């Protein structure tokens, strides 16, 4: 294994994957805190922190942060997810130390200026509006809300106008104190990096992080259900979901393969039946999302309102047939796609750093390349069919936006699958 991991006495983990053939490096600070860690009144706060990350620290103004990284040709970015938030930089080899120091300042010493906070609230409210104007994005927020009704894991990452508008510095400080702990933090770097140098610098730069354990997650509970939103659109956007498999479950990898095999490309049964044979949709694809203790399998399609029922019937019949008779060629094709995706990460320092952090959060350890490929290789057709059938036998979740008169209810979806 080329990756190296050091766990400091505080619980802070530092992981690197050095590549002497590269002249640039990616480095990131990742915390096991995302939208599902928020209390009701904090909904959207993780994402607000991402927006405020580069607005000034105790030592530098927002402009000074931007100039410090851009003067050396680098860039800074951040990303909020359901279970993690990441702050990362991409720089030349000789500027790795500068990048880590900047990230540590942002992580530990952002000042959250009141005027900047008020301005950024307006920006995020505009971002919420942009999602509401984009039905093929909004539909997935509706899906999550119905699949995990009344739970933080099902809420939109951006928050709402009301919650975002109510954030203040005290709310931010309380959230950071509760979640931004050494044991919940991973420093990950890849490319032109030196492990021992990053360990030493990270230990010094992040010494202010608390060593107390972060709060445990509230367990996710899949509910299923439906949300049909009437809107005057050219297309009706439809997503049907089912309880999937969590990251640590034995059938997780087979569930990933099932989604890729049935609807992950132009040769998949879903694409061939719905688009190529029947011409019912321009876009149709399957997906499988996985979290620490939950998963969601499903498919998305956009179609003419009059064809919504026909599309759903065709797609459901295709999924049911695949769960019974998906052939070896389709499974091998999906496995090959997964292997390409796994190996491609090694060629991108930023993606590799994120992958290393995700492994530590998900499994508590690193997974080397040989193990990752072996896990994919040992998935067989029987396991893929079995997990597909199990997921489709569960309670469905239906979300649709547009003219929804011909959209099947969740009850009718379940009935059709039982009859298949």
Partners of 27 in the β-ladder: 89, 189
Q: Which of 38, 42, 50, 273 is catalytic?
A: 50
Predicted confidence at residue 391, as pLDDT, reads 98
Q: Which CATH class is domain 225-419?
A: alpha beta
pLDDT tens digits along 174-217: 999 999 999 999 999 999 999 999 999 999 999 999 888 888 88
147 within 8 A of 287, measured Cβ to Cβ: no
Angle in degrees, CA 28, 33, 39, rounded to 5: 155
Residues in the chain: 420
Predicted confidence at residue 211, as pLDDT, reads 87
Strand arrangement, sheet containing 13-18? 3-7, 13-18, 185-191, 24-31, 85-92, 75-80
Q: Which of 155, 173, 121, 159 is nearest to 45 (CA)?
A: 159
Q: Is 50 a residue of the active site?
A: yes
Predicted confidence at residue 420, as pLDDT, reads 75
pLDDT tens digits along 212-238: 888 888 999 999 999 999 999 999 999
Residues of the chain with CATH 3.30.830.10: 3-205, 225-419
- DSSP assignment, residue 93? G
Q: Which CATH class is domain 3-205?
A: alpha beta
Rounded Cα distance between 284 and 272, Å, is: 10
The secondary element (H helix, E strand) that includes residue 29 is strand 24-31
Rounded Cα distance between 410 and 402, Å, is: 17
Q: Assign 3-state DSSP to the chain and report helix, strand, coil percentages, each to 5.
A: 50, 20, 30
Predicted confidence at residue 207, as pLDDT, reads 95
- DSSP assignment, residue 36? G
401 within 8 A of 139, measured Cβ to Cβ: yes
Predicted confidence at residue 419, as pLDDT, reads 86
Please list the ranges in the chain whose pLDDT falls under 50: none
Alpha-carbon torsion 42, 44, 49, 51, what sign? negative
Predicted confidence at residue 1, as pLDDT, reads 61
């Amino acid at each position: 294994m080329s990756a190296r991991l050091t766990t400091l006495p505080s619980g802070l983990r530092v992981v690197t994957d050095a590549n002497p053939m590269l002249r640039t490096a990616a480095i990131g600070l990742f915390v096991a805190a995302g939208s599902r860690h928020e209390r009701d009144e904090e909904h959207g706060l993780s994402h607000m922190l991402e927006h405020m990350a580069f607005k000034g620290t105790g030592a530098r103004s927002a402009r000074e942060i931007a100039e410090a990284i851009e003067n050396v040709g680098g860039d800074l970015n951040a990303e909020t997810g359901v279970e993690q938030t990441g702050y990362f930089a991409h720089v030349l080899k000789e500027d790795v130390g500068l990048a880590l120091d900047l990230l540590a300042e942002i992580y530990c010493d952002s000042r959250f200026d009141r005027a900047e906070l008020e301005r950024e609230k307006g920006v995020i409210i505009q971002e919420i509006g942009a999602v509401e104007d984009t039905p093929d994005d909004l539909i997935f927020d509706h899906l999550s809300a119905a699949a995990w009704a009344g739970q933080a894991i099902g809420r939109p990452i951006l928050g709402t106008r009301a919650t975002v508008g109510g954030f203040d510095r005290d709310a931010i400080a309380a959230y950071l104190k509760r979640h931004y702990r050494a044991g919940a933090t991973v420093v990950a770097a890849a490319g032109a990096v030196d492990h021992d140098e990053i360990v030493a610098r990270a230990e010094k730069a992040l010494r202010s992080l608390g060593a107390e354990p972060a709060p445990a997650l509230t367990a996710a509970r899949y509910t299923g259900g439906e949300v049909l939103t009437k809107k005057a659109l050219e297309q009706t956007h439809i997503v049907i979901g089912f309880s999937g498999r969590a990251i640590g479950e034995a059938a997780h990898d087979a569930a990933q393969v099932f989604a890729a095999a049935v609807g992950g490309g132009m040769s998949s049964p879903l694409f061939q039946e719905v688009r190529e044979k029947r011409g019912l949709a321009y876009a149709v694809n399957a997906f499988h999302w996985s979290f620490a203790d939950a998963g969601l399998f499903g498919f998305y399609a956009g179609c003419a309102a009059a064809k919504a029922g026909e599309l759903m019937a065709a797609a459901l019949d295709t999924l049911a047939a695949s769960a019974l008779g998906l052939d070896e060629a389709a499974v091998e094709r999906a496995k090959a796609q997964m292997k390409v995706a796994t190996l491609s990460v090694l060629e991108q320092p930023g993606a590799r750093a994120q992958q290393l952090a995700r492994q530590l959060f998900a499994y508590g350890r690193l997974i080397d390349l040989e193990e990752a490929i072996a896990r994919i290789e040992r998935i067989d057709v029987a396991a893929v069919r079995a997990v597909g059938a199990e997921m489709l036998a569960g309670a469905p979740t239906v979300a649709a936006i547009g003219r929804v008169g011909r959209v099947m209810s969740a009850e009718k979806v379940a009935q059709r699958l039982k009859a298949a």
